[in-house]
């Protein structure tokens, strides 16, 4: 079976999350990815744990490094640096997240490489760009704070909160993947490579979507609202007789159905709740009315009743429950990849479905074992 990116060679000089996530997405789609790691320690995430799997491998590293080969190179050593340069000149794509200027000093910068490899797509991932923010450290938590995400996450009376996963790194990796694919499309048409620049702060600002537009277009600085939504109601977490229920009512039909299921038709008839705009303006009155009626049954019971009426509702799963739900729905969320020593690792499936060239899973994340690289 052919893959969408067969014969595409990627040199991965990135580490930690954003870059490795981008290159793994491309590797899943068929690209051949060679990951360069430092002697002794390799990618920092190899030591980020617990948790580790039963073979002692970091689950963090495994999450973004399947379908890749690994080569250990010391870029401060002349021979290894020359090998890295040779790989770069034979690559279609190079991905890196060094501090701006570091690879230029090593002779692996874009301008130097493009002179000998003009069709190279060279993707640089930084924290705050290569200008005035070049020296700032690009850590996800720091970007969540400086980029405003923590200011809109958490309870109004509580402290700012980070999201439970390094979401800025993941988003940046996705933006990098899109940029690389766009550059490859241009190269297919013209034969010309180019540089792709993606930074974490800009990626987060773009991902703020409606909250960002509230500021840029509406001159409103959003704040923390807990589990409520600034523009939709009811769209929140509500306590029931047992457990908590999430309601995501996005239109008047759904609200009318919600009122019927709750045996409270007066809610849909109330002028305070006649439209979404009305419900947002009177959200606290609506919340009080809903809590009173939801207190008669468990969250699971309400979720089943509401779902049957096509009202978006559900209970709060833990991560295990989320995977079990996906499995029950036939989404096959887990793939198992064998290692050469007979062990295996289970990882989350690539969510992209392609009818002709689906993602492939041919190798577990590489070990850092010092074996000689047998590539170019």
342: left (phi over 0), alpha (psi -120 to 50) or beta: left
**322-354 burial: b if 16+ Cβ within 10 Å, else e:** eeeebeeeeeeeebebeeeeeeebebeebeeee
- Among candidate residues 169, 270, 278, 341, the one labeled active-site is 169
Segments in the chain forming alpha helices (H): 18-28, 59-62, 78-90, 102-106, 110-116, 140-146, 167-190, 200-207, 209-216, 252-261, 265-269, 276-281, 283-294, 299-308, 319-328
Residue 217 host element (H or E): none
Specify whether the CB–CB gap between 50 and 232 falls below 8 A. no
The answer to whether 169 is a known catalytic residue is yes
User: What span, in angstroms and rounded, lies between the C-alpha atoms of 295 and 291?
Assistant: 6
Q: What three-state secondary structure class fits 315?
A: strand
Find the distance separating the first CA and the last CA of the chain, reported in whole Å.
Answer: 24
Neighbours of 269 (CB within 10 A): 11
Catalytic site positions: 169
């Amino acid at each position: 079976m052919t893959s969408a990116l067969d014969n595409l060679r990627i040199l991965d000089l990135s580490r930690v999350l954003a870059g490795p996530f981008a290159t793994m997405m491309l590797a899943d789609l068929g690209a051949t990815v060679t990951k360069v790691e430092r002697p002794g320690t390799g990618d920092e995430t190899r030591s980020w744990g617990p948790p580790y799997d039963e073979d002692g491998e970091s689950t963090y590293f495994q999450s973004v490094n399947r379908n890749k080969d690994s080569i250990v190179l010391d870029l401060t050593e002349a021979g290894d640096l020359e090998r890295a340069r040779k790989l770069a000149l034979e690559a279609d794509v190079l991905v890196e997240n060094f501090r701006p200027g570091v690879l230029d000093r090593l002779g692996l910068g874009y301008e130097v490489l493009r002179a000998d490899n003009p069709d190279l797509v060279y993707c640089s991932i930084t924290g705050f760009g290569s200008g005035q923010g070049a020296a700032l450290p690009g850590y996800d938590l720091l970007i969540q704070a400086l980029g405003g995400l923590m200011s809109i996450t958490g309870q109004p009376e509580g402290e700012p909160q980070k999201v439970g996963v390094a979401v800025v790194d993941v988003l940046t990796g996705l933006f990098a993947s899109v940029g690389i694919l766009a550059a490859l499309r241009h190269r297919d048409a013209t034969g010309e490579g180019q540089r792709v620049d993606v930074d974490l702060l800009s990626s987060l600002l773009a991902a703020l979507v409606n909250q960002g537009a509230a500021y840029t277009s509406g001159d409103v600085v959003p704040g923390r609202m807990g589990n409520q939504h600034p523009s939709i109601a009811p769209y929140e977490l509500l306590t029931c007789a047992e457990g908590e229920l999430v309601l995501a009512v996005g239109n008047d039909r759904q609200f009318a159905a919600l009122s019927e299921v709750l045996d409270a038709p007066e809610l849909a008839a109330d002028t305070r709740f006649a439209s979404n705009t009305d419900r947002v303006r009177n959200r606290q009155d609506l919340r009080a009315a809903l809590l009173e009626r939801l207190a008669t049954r468990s969250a699971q019971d309400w979720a089943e009743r509401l779902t049957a009426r096509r009202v978006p509702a559900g209970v709060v799963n833990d991560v295990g429950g989320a995977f079990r739900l996906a499995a029950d729905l036939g989404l096959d969320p887990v793939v198992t990849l064998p290692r050469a020593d007979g062990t295996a690792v289970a990882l989350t499936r690539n969510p992209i479905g392609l009818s002709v060239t689906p993602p492939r899973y041919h190798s577990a994340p590489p070990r850092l074992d010092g074996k000689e690289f047998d590539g170019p």
